[in-house]
Amino acid sequence: METLLNDFSPGLFVMQLVILIILLFLMKKFAWKPILNSLEERETGIESALASAENARKEMQNLQADNAALVKEARAERDAIMKDAREIRDNMIAEAKEDAKEVTSKLIESAQASIQQEKQAALAEIKKSVAELSIGIAESVIKKELSNKADQLELVEGILKDVTLN
């Protein structure tokens, strides 16, 4: 420390002090404003970036809310379409059942009418056969004049055994 005090020169000190003051003045005049301006620009850029990020976040939330609303609306529309499709299907099935019932009842009525006609034809055929058989028996009885009842019964039973109703 003593050597430092021994080497101290007041002229050199004043000169260095003047150079420092001039350097500070020049820096203030030419460098300080551009440095402060660039710092302010950077600060403004960061603030605008933060603001745009916040706006983007808000817009993203709005888009997510809109997306959720669209999904909800699409699901409601899908449910409505499915309900309509089920109703149409049920109506088609009911109509098909109704048509099948009508066709079935018409077929049953037709079959019953056919059965009735065949029954009437069979009865008419049986009546005809019975009439022919009765006439044949009557002819046989008349041809053979029988004097007693026992002979008549024996003859009728014999004829009945020979005749088949097929």
User: Could you tell me the residue range of the domain that residue 127 belongs to?
Assistant: 33-162
Q: How far apart are the first and last CA of the chain?
A: 158
Backbone phi and psi for residue 89, each to the nearest 5 degrees, phi listed first: -60, -45
In a domain, 1, yes or no: no
Domain membership flag for residue 28: no
Residue 12 lies in a domain: no
- DSSP, res 1: -
Alpha-carbon gap, residue 31 to 25, rounded angstroms: 10
Give me the pLDDT at residue 145, please: 59
Residue 5 lies in a domain: no
Residue 26 lies in a domain: no
Q: What is the pLDDT of residues 57-100, one digit of tens each?
A: 999 999 999 999 999 999 999 999 999 999 999 999 999 999 99
11, part of any domain:
no
Number of domains present in the structure of the chain: 1
Instruction: Answer for the pair 123, 142: CB distance below 8 angstroms, yes or no.
Output: no
Question: For the chain, which ranges sit under pLDDT 70?
Answer: 1, 4, 141-148, 164-166
- Is 121 contained in some domain? yes
